[in-house]
Structure 1
Amino acid sequence: MNESEKDLKATQQVKSKKRVAEHGEVFTNEREVNAMLDLVKHETERIDSRFLEPACGNGNFLVEVLRRKLGVVDSRYGKSQIEWERYAVIAVSSIYGVDILEDNALECQERLFSIFSKIYLGKFGTNCKLEFIKSIKFILKRNILWGDALDFTNPITKKPIVFSEWSMVTENMIKRRDFVFKFLVEKTHQFSIFNDEGNPAAIDEPVKDFPLIHFLKLG
């Protein structure tokens, strides 16, 4: 499948009548996605603002959020590769999604990674770092999950959905803490990782706490 065919497949609103009947699966098209995101335009262009899509499908909303965030990273930090990488990690790690269908979650991961890698490789070419690319892949694997956002579990294993919070503590060192999705929603009283003022919600009960690590070593 070539790139144009992949793009067409990714933007289809319906994959099959069976999926519509069983899951009510209809994807939002690009025009509506952009119109809705423009309502919170200032947040989509804030590099560290966290976005959670509890029924992310194959990622139509999240890919556009990532495009906007990386556009800001590029305009502000494009002259320095290490600065670009540092803020690109913050941008990618602030995007979360969960979908009840496993193939959607995997496709969403792939689409987000494809957008990142196309911009990164196009900008820095042979200077691109494999360890950085691995870090981005690892973050997306932790942030885009297969699960049921209504009962907060994996549809098959019934294990609770657990998301990772990533915080840049120093210029290059990142902190990971894992939180149960159900607790996150109950704590914020909404399907968002924002509080009412638009700031990151206060979440103080991680199920696992990891030591600081350089952002290039996450993978």
Structure 2
Amino acid sequence: MAKQVKSKKRVADHGEVFTAEREVKAMCDLVADECLRIDSRFLEPAVGEGVFLAEVLTRKLSVVKEKYKKSAYDYERNAILALTSIYGVDILADNAQVCRDKLFALWNEEYTAACKKEASDEAREAAKYILKTNIICGNALSLMCVDENQQDTDEPIIFAEWTFPFNDARIKRRDFRLDVLLKENTEDQYYAEQFSLFGDDAMGLENWMIDPVTHEKVPKPIREYTLIHYRRLTENG
């Protein structure tokens, strides 16, 4: 059984108590349908060592395996898609790194077992790059990145939106400030229904644009990258 407390000091300084596996599974069961959607996005604002995201990823990869196990290409692409859909923030750098390592180990074990000799180191490096981008060391209350002393910096938390707009191997990345994505959402509005991290549910958001592919109203990104094969993601870094 995994420990729920690392040290009394971490509890006192940061209120760090990890959720037990039984509770993690029970809470994920409450949104079971979303956990089984490969592209459904999850954000854990106090990610710790990633127990929630690991459970979500496990469930997503079970769907990928069930649907795409006969094709190494389809499995790999959809396993990458599942990985792009999970996001986390933690104020402690060691937690954020443990989370990245745990999620990659989980993903890589399933990927290697499914694709065997067709498994690619390029895909593995892309997976690590996605996790480095999606799991952020920051303050989920101020929505700012933090330094080695857990103090806010002047750098806002930025998340990448990953999509496969043409349903092929080309992936699209667009970066958004988390504080802007959440701006002007009232408390009632936030808790009344599931929040869409990059979608039109963020009412009151300034600086809208029309997506040229979907023609939907979406927030403007602060950076937008050219389409690239997902195995070559690190070239856009």
Verify same fold: TM over 0.5. yes
Q: 2:221 aligns with which of 199, 206, 209?
A: 206
Give the stretch that moved more between structures: 196-205 or 12-21: 196-205
Q: How high is the sequence identity, in percent, across the aligned residues? A: 47
Q: 2:103 aligns with which of 112, 117, 120?
A: 112
Aligned twin of 1:158: 154
Q: 1:137 aligns with which of 115, 128, 134?
A: 128
| Shift in alpha-carbon separation, 1:162–1:69, aligned structure 2, 3 A | same
TM-score normalised to structure 2 length? 0.83
CA distance in 2, matches of 1:194, 1:127: 44
Answer yes or no: is the 8 Å Cα contact 1:148–1:155 preserved in 2.
Answer: yes
SS of residue paired to 2:87:
strand
What one-letter code is carried by the residue in structure 2 that aligns with 1:208? Answer: R
Q: 1:183 aligns with which of 155, 174, 180?
A: 180
Answer yes or no: is the 8 Å Cα contact 1:99–1:105 preserved in 2.
Answer: yes
| Shift in alpha-carbon separation, 1:188–1:125, aligned structure 2, 3 A | farther
Aligned twin of 1:121: 112
CA distance in 2, matches of 1:65, 1:197: 16
TM-score normalised to structure 1 length? 0.89
CA distance in 2, matches of 1:204, 1:165: 11
Which structure 1 residue ranges, 5 or more long, are not aligned?
1-7
Q: 1:47 aligns with which of 32, 35, 38?
A: 38
CA distance in 2, matches of 1:39, 1:46: 14
Structure with bigger gyration radius: 2
Hey, which of these two has a bigger chunk of helix by percent? 1
Hey, which of these two has a bigger chunk of strand by percent? 2
SS of residue paired to 1:147:
strand
CA shift, 1:38, in A, is: 0.3
SS of residue paired to 1:113:
helix
CA shift, 1:86, in A, is: 1.1
Pairwise CA RMSD of aligned residues? Answer: 2.0
CA distance in 1, matches of 2:55, 2:130: 18
Which structure 2 residue ranges, 5 or more long, are not aligned?
148-152, 201-217
| Deviations, residues 155-188 of structure 1 (Å, cap 9, x unaligned) | 2233111110001112111110000011112265
